[in-house]
Structure 1
Amino acid sequence: MARLLIRFTQSPFSNAKSQDGLDFALAATNYGHDVKVLFENQGVLQLVKAASTKGLKNHTKRLASMPFFDIEECFVCKASADTYDIEQVLANNSLVDELDCEWTTPEEKVALIQSVDHVVTF
């Protein structure tokens, strides 16, 4: 099947796009697609553990379920983490460890995008 890269670019608090992106990623694995995820721009904020917002599913717990759906290639844009000054927070974050996320540079991000069949951005 197809190799997909799901780009998470939105904060989990501003709108439902982060939830939609995660739903899409999990559903794609049910159809046999090889899914990789990339957290960049405001999307790196999804990896910061936070209390769940009233009326919304706990996004952190849902992200932690990705390995159960065979989503094992997880990447975090180092430049985005630097922009939000959260690199140290993410470096000591158990969610990042659970997902076994790799830090990427802009050059590695280009190579990652070129290595897949389709890129979907949320």
Structure 2
Amino acid sequence: MATITVILTQPPYSTKAAAEGLEFALASTNYGLECQVVFSGAGVFQLLANQQPEGLKNQLKQAKVLPFYDIEPVYVCQASLTAHALTIDDLGIESEDIQLLSPIELHELLSQADHTVTF
């Protein structure tokens, strides 16, 4: 089975890229791909707790269903959290569903993927 890694680098709600990236990841599982999702850069803001966007799909709610599509764990770049002065406690996903990655671990994960897509 081919592995696809989806890297989400965009903050929620500023462009369509964040929502499209999550939808792409969910849809990829319908095609027999093993999908991994990495939240990196400003993409970590998609996981912030207590999101209440008006008139838009809630990014956090979409991220919370990733395990139901066998997309687990949810990978989060530790350096990105640190750069944005965030901790795992600021995120709205259960900590047992998250795996923090160091830059070296992120590089290793990406090098093992058959395909990589960045949003």
Please indicate, yes or no, whether the TM-score normalized by the shorter chain is above 0.5: yes
For residues 41 and 96 of structure 1, do their structure 2 counterparts lie closer, same or farther at Cα, with a shift above 3 Å needed? farther
Instruction: Please tell me whether residue 119 in structure 1 is matched to residue 116 in structure 2.
Output: yes
> 1:37, 1:74 within 8 Å by CA — same for their partners in 2?
yes
Equivalent AA in structure 1 for residue 99 of structure 2 = E
Cα drift, residue 94 of structure 1? 4.5
User: Contact between 1:76 and 1:104, CA under 8 Å: does it hold in 2?
Assistant: yes
| Map of 1:97 onto structure 2 | 95
- Residue 65 of structure 1, CA deviation: 0.8
Deviations 1:51-96 (CA, angstroms, capped at 9, x unpaired):
3322211111111111111111321111110110012xx2364414
Percent sequence identity is: 39
* 8 Å Cα contact 1:47-1:96 kept in structure 2: no
Which residue of 2 is the match for residue 64 of structure 1? Answer: 64
Q: Which segment is superposed worse, 29-38 or 46-55?
A: 46-55
Letter in 1 for 2:109: L
Q: In structure 1, list runs of 5 or more residues that go unmatched.
A: none
Unaligned runs of 5+ in 2: none
Question: 2:8 & 2:56 partners in 1: Cα distance?
Answer: 18
> Equivalent residues in 2 for 1:23-102 (5 A)?
23-87=23-87, 90-91=88-89, 93-97=91-95, 100-102=97-99
Query: CA 1:44–1:96 in structure 2 vs 1: closer, same or farther (change >3 Å)?
Result: farther
Tell me the TM-score normalized by structure 1: 0.90
SS of 1:76 mapped into structure 2: strand
